Amino acid sequence: MTDPEQTKISRLKKFKQAAWVFTGMNLLYLIITFVVIPPVGLEPTDMAIYCLVALVLSGGLSFLIAREGRKLAMSLALVFAARVGFSSYTMIAGTAFPIVPWVLPTVLISFYFLGRAAWDWP
């Protein structure tokens, strides 16, 4: 294999990894949220619908990322970077929502893998 072909395969692997990690971290985020925060007046059917919508949205975006959606990965990485920055600021200021320390690692991991695919980080 020539070097450009090897680079293309390596880049494709990064997008596939980013897609899997994006789905996994979103699923973990959802699970942590439902375990740590008690239900707030939601009916079980409403919760099931919200979970289903979140999973379908996450799966759809992951599918597009896996197909080398560089602009999508870049956009999502920027959104996740803003979330990490704002969450860190609120934790330092002491005004963070109680779930933030629990889910911040999932957001940070998602940001890294999305950025890795979008900007070809190591």
Q: What is the mean pLDDT of residues 30-52?
A: 82
Give the model's pLDDT for residue 14: 94
What distances in angstroms separate CA 65 from CA 14, 69, 73, 87, 118, one per listed residue? 10, 5, 6, 25, 10
Q: What is the mean pLDDT of residues 82-110?
A: 94
Give the model's pLDDT for residue 44: 78
Type of residue numbered 40: V
* Contact status, residue 115 vs residue 16, Cβ threshold 8 Å: no
Q: Which residue has the higher pLDDT, 120 or 6?
A: 120
Which residue range forms the structural domain that includes residue 61?
3-119
Q: What is the mean pLDDT of residues 97-110?
A: 94
Give the model's pLDDT for residue 9: 78
Q: How many structural domains does the chain have?
A: 1
Question: pTM of the predicted model, to two decimals?
Answer: 0.89
Q: Is the pLDDT of residue 74 over 90?
A: yes
Q: What is the mean pLDDT of residues 39-67?
A: 88
Type of residue numbered 120: D
**Cα 11 from Cα 5, distance rounded (Å):** 10
